[in-house]
Amino acid sequence: MPLPKPLRRSVLMDQDLRRRRRALFLLFLLAGIAMSSWVTRTPAIRDRLDVTTGQMGLVLFALSCGSMAGIIWSGRLVSRFGTRPVIVWGTVSLLAGMAAVCVGSAAASLPLVTAGLGAFGAGMGVSDVAVNVDATDLERSSGATTLPVLHGCFSLGTVFGAGAGMAATASGVPVQWHLAAVTASAAALFLHAVRAVPSGTGRGPSGEPGATDSARRPAVWKDRRLLLIGVIVLAMALAEGSANDWLPLLMVDGHGMDAAAGSLVYTGFAAAMTLGRFTGTYVLDRFGRTAVVRAGAFSASLGLLVVIVSDSAPLAGVAVLLWGLGASLGFPLALSAAGESGPDETARVGLVATIGYVAFLVGPPGLGTLADHVGLRPALLVVLACVACAAFLAPAVDTGARGSRGAGAASTREGAAEAAGR
């Protein structure tokens, strides 16, 4: 017996949401694979370019500048064109940057690797806000908490990428061939996923950016709660970003591990991030945002402290797991809170993401320059101080919307189950 039209329309909408969710899973996975693949080969790239740690920090500065430029423009582009074209433009730039890093590594060309990382960062920055705006819209449409799991897919991608990087390092695979294979695989994932991303999400009225950029954004900048959420994102993004940029080198130079062992520790960090994000929905529903963010900040602080002060490489490797687990939920929960904190979701998510990317702008060159004088381990005291502050600011993420969202999720699940039963 055919389903009634309203119910059939509901089932089709639910199928569209599932396809959209799977597409976002793949896009987050792609970004994680791409990021961790070259991060695990940072020692090899540094040796190939024959530069110091401080000089490598300046190379990473191109990544940070590209990310910041992308993140600044992304909100305006999303308001004008919607999330889908911005995701496409950003991912194409990311893949082109990866290809440039491949060629630059093969030619031992410092300018080409630097330019490639700049394009990679710009692509990540442009697509990051667009994907997160699309994900917050999906949360609202489905009534289910989605961002922690989506960011878990990013972390899962970092596990895959780091594992492959560790295997390539141990096997002596040249960095250019490894990154070329990653670029081709990421391009295939992108072409498959982007078809399910709908058009029009995040656009301002009549596609005019002025409606959000000029009229509403000044009020957004004055929102004290939103700025506190931004500080939390900055701290947790710095905790995550410093590991992404420096953890393999930290284990090699700071704790005397070989390159393969340093990649293994980074893989453990990525695995802890993945575990924290995939279990995030459960702990969030049980304990609430404030408690989860505060506990995460304490865990990350403890892990960082042990890594900094301990001379035992195995103990430091274990402490990295606490670091990763603690940092896992800060970024996605803060973005969810930003989207719920008031009107003009695109501007709010864009503002908080921009503040977070400041960590990626000042982190790599700042830590690298400081490490040239005091070493990587003492340089991490800056990260530790920021994460400790986030624990005290945790109440800012409680927007009062958790109960309604949970009810919406339950209602959505019940409606889907009823439709499936019929």
Q: What is the DSSP string of 324-374?
A: HHHHTTHHHHHHHHHHHSSS-HHHHHHHHHHHHHHHHHHHHHHHHHHHHHH
pLDDT band of residue 315 (cuts 50, 70, 90) is very high
Looking at residue 400, the DSSP 8-state letter turns out to be S
pLDDT confidence of residue 219: 62
pLDDT band of residue 213 (cuts 50, 70, 90) is very low
pLDDT confidence of residue 203: 72
Report if pTM > 0.75: no
Cα dist from 319 to 268, 306, 307, whole Å: 10, 6, 6
In terms of residues, how long is the chain?
422
**Count of H-run helices and E-run strands, the chain:** 20, 0
Distance CA 416, CA 422 (A): 10
Contacts (Cβ under 8 Å, ≥6 apart) of 218? none
Q: Which of 152-161, 212-221, 353-362, 380-389 has maximum average pLDDT?
A: 380-389
pLDDT band of residue 293 (cuts 50, 70, 90) is very high
> Among 161-175, 203-217, 258-272, 395-409, which is the least confidently predicted range?
203-217
Mean pLDDT, residues 281-303 taken together? 90
Mean pLDDT, residues 247-261 taken together? 84
Q: Over 60: is that where the pLDDT of 205 sits? A: no
Q: How far is CA 16 from the centre of its chain?
A: 25
CB atoms within 10 A of CB 1: 4
Looking at residue 4, the DSSP 8-state letter turns out to be P
Question: What are the boundaries of each domain within the chain?
Answer: 5-200+218-421
Cα dist from 193 to 21, 27, 186, whole Å: 10, 7, 11
pLDDT confidence of residue 204: 62
Mean pLDDT, residues 200-218 taken together? 53
Mean residue pLDDT of the chain comes to: 80
Q: What tokens appear for 93 in the block? A: 């730039």
Distance CA 47, CA 246 (A): 15
Distance CA 149, CA 7 (A): 28
Among 70, 161, 75, 73, CA closest to 123: 70
**pLDDT, tens digit, 9 for 90 and up, residues 7-31:** 444 444 577 788 888 899 999 999 9
**What is the CATH number assigned to the segment(s) 5-200+218-421?**
1.20.1250.20
> SS3 for 279?
coil
Tell me whether residue 96 is exposed, middle or buried, using C-beta atoms within 10 angstroms of its C-beta: 0 to 12, 13 to 18, 19 or more.
Answer: middle
Distance CA 381, CA 378 (A): 6
Q: Over 90: is that where the pLDDT of 97 sits? A: yes
Distance CA 179, CA 186 (A): 10
pLDDT band of residue 185 (cuts 50, 70, 90) is very high
Distance CA 61, CA 118 (A): 8
Mean pLDDT, residues 191-195 taken together? 90
